[in-house]
Structure 1
Amino acid sequence: MVRVGAHTSIAGGAYNAVDEQVEYGGNCGQIFSHSPQVWQDPNIEDEEAEQFRTLSEANGVGPWVIHSSYLVNLCTPKEDLREKSRDSMQKEVDAAAKLDIEYVNVHLGAHTGAGVDGGLDNAASVLDDLDIPDGVTVLVESDAGSGTKLGGQFEHLATVRERTEQDIEFCLDTAHMFAAGYDLSTAAGVDETFAEFDDVVGLDDLACVHLNDSKHACGTNKDEHAHIGEGEIGEEGMRAFVNHDAVEDVPLVLETPTENGKSFEWNIQRVRELREE
Structure 2
Amino acid sequence: MINIGCHLSISKGFYKAAQEALSIDANTFQFFTRNPRGGSAKALDIEDIKKSNEFMKQNNFAHILAHAPYTMNLCSSKPDIREFAKTMLKNDLERLKHIPNSLYNFHPGSHTGQGVEKSIEQIIHALNETITKDTDTWILLETMSGKGTEIGRSLEEIKQIIDKVEYTKIGLCLDSCHLYSSGYDIVNNLNGVIEEIDYMIGIDKVKAVHLNDSKHELGSNKDRHELIGDGKIGLDAIVNIITHPKLSHIPFILETPNDVKGHGEEIKMLKDKLIKT
Of 169, 177, 180, 1:178 maps to 180
Matched, 1:39 2:42: no
The aligned residue for residue 160 of structure 2 is 159
SS in 1 for 2:106: strand
Alpha-carbon contact 2:64-2:251 (below 8 Å) kept: no
How far off is 1:230 after superposition? 1.9
What is the CA deviation profile of residues 56-75 of structure 1, one whole-angstrom value per residue up to 9, with x for unaligned ones?
22222221110000100122
For residues 258 and 124 of structure 2, the distance between their equivalents in structure 1, rounded to whole angstroms, comes to 35
Matched, 1:150 2:151: yes
How far off is 1:265 after superposition? 0.3
Alpha-carbon contact 1:184-1:237 (below 8 Å) kept: yes
What is the CA deviation profile of residues 198-257 of structure 1, one whole-angstrom value per residue up to 9, with x for unaligned ones?
121111111111111111111111111112222110123212222212212121111112
SS in 1 for 2:54: helix
Matched, 1:139 2:162: no
What is the CA deviation profile of residues 24-59 of structure 1, one whole-angstrom value per residue up to 9, with x for unaligned ones?
110112111222111113421222222222222222
For residues 220 and 262 of structure 1, the distance between their equivalents in structure 2, rounded to whole angstroms, comes to 30
- Between the two proteins, what is the percent identity of the paired residues? 29
Amino acid at match of 1:156: E
Greater Cα offset, 53-62 or 99-108: 53-62
The TM-score with structure 1 as length reference comes to: 0.93
Unmatched runs of 5 consecutive residues or more in structure 1: none
Cα 1:275–1:201 shift into 2, 3 Å: farther
Amino acid at match of 1:234: G
Query: Equivalences for 1:1-277 in 2 at 5 Å?
Result: 1-132=1-132, 133-167=134-168, 168-186=170-188, 189-258=189-258, 263-275=262-274
For residues 236 and 28 of structure 1, the distance between their equivalents in structure 2, rounded to whole angstroms, comes to 22
Residues matched between the structures, number: 274
For residues 137 and 106 of structure 1, the distance between their equivalents in structure 2, rounded to whole angstroms, comes to 11
For residues 56 and 236 of structure 1, the distance between their equivalents in structure 2, rounded to whole angstroms, comes to 30
What value does the CA root-mean-square deviation take over the aligned residues? 1.8
How far off is 1:141 after superposition? 0.6
For residues 246 and 138 of structure 2, the distance between their equivalents in structure 1, rounded to whole angstroms, comes to 20
Alpha-carbon contact 1:103-1:139 (below 8 Å) kept: yes
Amino acid at match of 1:160: I
Greater Cα offset, 46-55 or 68-77: 46-55
How far off is 1:262 after superposition? 6.6
Moved over 3 A (4+): 131-135, 274-277
Alpha-carbon contact 1:9-1:16 (below 8 Å) kept: no
How far off is 1:134 after superposition? 4.2
For residues 261 and 53 of structure 2, the distance between their equivalents in structure 1, rounded to whole angstroms, comes to 29
SS in 2 for 1:162: helix
Amino acid at match of 2:105: N
